Structures are given as C-alpha cells and as structure tokens.
A and B are shown apart, each in its own frame.
Chain A
Amino acid sequence: MLSLLCAVTVMTLDAAGGEDSPVQPLRTGAVAVFGPLQTGAATAFDPVVGAVETIGELRQLRDENAALQERNDELAAELATTELDRNRLAEYDALSEASAIGGFDLVPARVVAVGPAQAFARTVTIDAGAADGVRDDLTVVAAPGLVGRVLSVGQHTATVLLAVDAGSVIGGRLDRSMELGFLRGNGSLGSDGALSLDLVDPDAVPAAGDTVVTWGSRGGAPYVAGVPVGEVVQVRTSAGEQSVTASVRPFVDMSAIDLVGVVVGPADSAERSFDRSLP
C-alpha cells in the first residue's frame, strides 16, 4: 500500500514541478547509470543481433552468391572503367551532402536504445552526450533527412524525440511553393508512421510528391532550417476547416534508424565530428 502511495507521490511531484521538479536529480542519476549501460549493451548485443539476422538471410544469400559469381565474371571485364565510376560516386555523395545536410557540423552517434510502444512516446537513446557537445533542443538528422530533436542530455548519452512522436510539432516548408505549415507526428513508427502537415495559408494546396523541409527556428533550436523531412503522399481538404491537411511520409525510416548526426553548429565547432577525409 505504502509503495502505491509512494508511486503516486512521485508522479504528483514530477507532474506539478515541471522543469524544476524535485524528481529531476533522480532522473539525472538514472541517466548516468542507464546511459552507459545501454551503450555497453548495444555494443555487446551487436554480434548477437547480427547473427540472428544472418541465419534468416542464409538461404537468400546462397542464391545471391550464385548470381553474384556470374555477375562477377562480367564485371571483371568492366574493371577498366572503375576509376571513372568511383569519381562519379564521390561527386554524387558531395552533391547529396550539400543539398541535404551540408553546411552543418554534425556529431555522429548511434541509436543504442528504443522506447517501447507501451510507453506511447517515440524516443530513442543515442550514444553521444554533453561530453561530445550535444545540448538540449538540437536537431538530429540521418542521411535521408530529419530524425527529431534532443530532449535531454546525459554525460555520454542523450534522449531524442522522434519527429513521429505524437507530441512533436515541427515547422515545415513546402519546397515547391515555399508555403509554411506545421508537421505533427501520429505516434506510430513503421509504414503507418506519417506526419500531418497543416498549412498556414488555407488557399495553398500541396501536391502529392512535394518535398517538405524544416522551416527553422531562431538560433537553429530546436530545428535548423532546410533539412528534408518527408514527401507529401496524400492531401485532404475539409470545408469546415481553416487549413488544408496533408499526410507526409518521412524520408527516414524511424523504426530502423541506426547512425544519426546531431547538428551542433553551422561552422566547424564540433568536438567530435565526421572526418571528411575518409573515403
């Protein structure tokens, strides 16, 4: 009985306290303990997870292997042009970097823990924290586009609120018409993890296929401007409402994110950053 009262007390204190909640030190302590544990566990479990996936793929791999061997012979003949292809690829890489998330300084991080659906919040832990220059309200991106924003920071880990979380609101801009709107998550990951876009201008009609990028806030927090978020897949207009609602599919597959980057600044200010000289 006492335990139940205790739980209710903690809840009341935390709910009433807000940012200065007396539970905050406890939370900081828990982050200090569980953050490194999660990072360690992710490293330790990596071979296990890999092995499980490998077993499932064995048969498929055998077929692929036969096909690839055939292909290999053909490709040997084309080897002479490899250098050209490599240069082309490097150019493409540079181009996509410049258009997508270029110009920002990123702190690379891996996702080490994912919040369960039972908790109703779409959050993940990444293995970069205050020691790596990560702060609250920084934008988190992956190669295809926006992932979310930093919610809280531990010494070596940080919690990220995914864009598809039901509590997430992001200012967005349509690339073709430059119209502004707000993107809200629907709380589900995977194929039905869509964002709804409410445009400010009721006369503006987004088209399916339009790309939505972040609108950006003052000082780049919580979201920097110009990061691709997703693609408009469906448009709904209802007579009674003031605005048009479009359904946006995020570019990033939120159920399978691994390597992400935290945008720490526009210039070379990262304490730990991508080494661009690597091939």
Chain B
Amino acid sequence: MIVARVAVTVLLVLVTVTAQVGLFAHLSVAGVVPDLALLLVVAAAIVRGPAYGTVLGLLAGLCVDLAPPADGVAGRWALALAVAGWLAGQARGDARLSAVATVVTVAVSSLAATSIYALTGLVLSEPGVSVARALEVLPVAVLYDIAITPLVVPLAMLVLRRLDPAPTRW
C-alpha cells in the first residue's frame, strides 16, 4: 500500500510539473500559467495536514526548480511550495473544507508561494526580478490559480483520499 501511495504521488508530481510548462504554456495569460504543482501541494495539505503538505511542497518545488527550462538558483520554488504546503495544512479542520474555504486556501497559498519566489529572486539578485514586475505577475498568477482550482484540486483531493481513506483515525 505504501509503495502504491508513493508511486501515485510521484506520478502526480511528474504530471503536474510537466503539464505546467508543456500544455499550459499554450494557455498562458500574459505569460503566466497556473501553478499546478502548488494546487497539488495545497490539495495534499488539506487532505493530509501541514507536515505532509510541507514535505510534498519541498519535493514538488525541487522538481519545478530543476526541471528544464528552469534556470537560476535551485531551491526557490522548493521553499515557496513548502511554505504554501504548511499554510494550506493549517486550514485543515476536522470537518471537510467548504468550497469557499478551499478557494481562499488556494488564494493565500498562491499569493505566499509566488511572493516568496519573487522575494528570494530579489535577495539573490537574479536577473529579471524586480518589484514592479513581481506586482504585475502576482495578481494574474493568483487569479489564474483560483480559476483553475475547481478543475484540479477536487480531483487531486479525491485521488489522495482514495489512497488513504482515513489517515488520522487510529
């Protein structure tokens, strides 16, 4: 069971990271594409809690950092998505999240992740990162993530719940 769980999670990460730069490059808004890896991490954090969300965020982020055509210092998306996973995990209550609560969770996580990525870029003085440019990209990124949420997050949550029907009850 554990092998299947890990395999499916790895598969989900590979699919989201590939679709993000491949398929969705055709559907970009002003160059911004929905952060599918982030949505996967948020879904996982909602289902399984902050610890799982943080670890998955770290691993998925590392994939985004290292997969072509990514360039520059690795670890920036890893940090951003790990924080997003932790944040989204905090939203998990005992009751299932309502649709609105899920959207708010995605919005907060997306804002946090994109901001952290931009800020680390500023700190490391990566080329192309400026406050003005970040402010341009941020709202589009968050809105696009929210727009795509109904298509991705429920599906990801369903798959993750199937893998582990009652993770916290012993």
**Do these two chains interact?**
yes
Chain A positions near chain B (C-beta within 8 angstroms): 1, 3-4, 6-15, 23, 26-27, 29-31, 33-35, 37-38, 41-42, 45, 48-49, 52, 112-125, 151-152, 154, 157-161, 165-167, 187-190, 255
Main secondary structure of the interface of B (DSSP, over half): helix
Chain B, residue nearest A40 (CB): B18
Contacts of A42 in B (CB 8 A): 22
CA A9 – CA B74 in complex, angstroms? 10
Contacts of A120 in B (CB 8 A): 118, 121, 126, 128-129, 133-134, 137
Contacts of B19 in A (CB 8 A): 41
Q: With A34-B17, A188-B31 as known contacts, state yes or no: A123 contacts B71, CB within 8 Å.
A: yes
Determine whether the beta carbon of A4 is less than 8 Å from that of B128: no
Contacts of B74 in A (CB 8 A): 10-11, 14, 23, 26-27
Q: How far is the CB of B54 from chain A (nearest CB, A)?
A: 4
CA A30 – CA B76 in complex, angstroms? 16
Q: With A117-B28, A121-B128 as known contacts, state yes or no: A11 contacts B120, CB within 8 Å.
A: yes
Contacts of A4 in B (CB 8 A): 54, 58, 79, 82-83, 86
Q: How far is the CB of A26 from chain B (nearest CB, A)?
A: 6
Contacts of A52 in B (CB 8 A): 26
1/0 per residue B1-27: CB within 8 Å of A?
000000000000010011111111110
Determine whether the beta carbon of A154 is less than 8 Å from that of B66: no
CA A13 – CA B124 in complex, angstroms? 13
Q: List 24 A-B contacts (CB under 8 A).
A: A3-B82, A4-B79, A7-B61, A11-B74, A15-B73, A23-B74, A29-B66, A31-B68, A33-B14, A34-B18, A41-B22, A41-B23, A42-B22, A45-B23, A113-B21, A115-B71, A116-B21, A116-B28, A116-B33, A117-B140, A118-B114, A121-B72, A121-B127, A124-B69
Q: How far is the CB of B49 from chain A (nearest CB, A)?
A: 13
Q: How far is the CB of B38 from chain A (nearest CB, A)?
A: 10
Contacts of B30 in A (CB 8 A): 117, 190
Determine whether the beta carbon of A7 is less than 8 Å from that of B75: yes
Q: How far is the CB of A260 from chain B (nearest CB, A)?
A: 13
CA A185 – CA B87 in complex, angstroms? 36
Q: With A3-B55, A11-B79, A165-B127 as known contacts, state yes or no: A159 contacts B71, CB within 8 Å.
A: yes
Chain B positions near chain A (C-beta within 8 angstroms): 14, 17-26, 28, 30-33, 35, 54-55, 57-58, 61-63, 65-76, 78-79, 82-83, 85-86, 114, 117-118, 120-121, 124, 126-129, 133-134, 137, 140-141
Determine whether the beta carbon of B75 is less than 8 Å from that of A117: no
Contacts of B134 in A (CB 8 A): 120
CA A278 – CA B83 in complex, angstroms? 54
Q: How far is the CB of B103 from chain A (nearest CB, A)?
A: 19
Determine whether the beta carbon of A187 is less than 8 Å from that of B25: no
Determine whether the beta carbon of B18 is less than 8 Å from that of A165: no
CA A201 – CA B149 in complex, angstroms? 53
Contacts of A154 in B (CB 8 A): 68
Contacts of A115 in B (CB 8 A): 21, 69-71
Chain B, residue nearest A122 (CB): B128
CA A193 – CA B63 in complex, angstroms? 28
Q: How far is the CB of A129 from chain B (nearest CB, A)?
A: 10
Determine whether the beta carbon of A166 is less than 8 Å from that of B128: yes
Q: How far is the CB of A141 from chain B (nearest CB, A)?
A: 18
Determine whether the beta carbon of B75 is less than 8 Å from that of A10: yes
- The answer, among A6, A45, A116, A187, for a CB contact under 8 Å with B128, is A187
CA A166 – CA B68 in complex, angstroms? 18
Determine whether the beta carbon of B23 is less than 8 Å from that of A48: yes
Determine whether the beta carbon of B69 is less than 8 Å from that of A49: no
Contacts of B67 in A (CB 8 A): 30-31, 33-34, 38
Determine whether the beta carbon of A190 is less than 8 Å from that of B31: yes
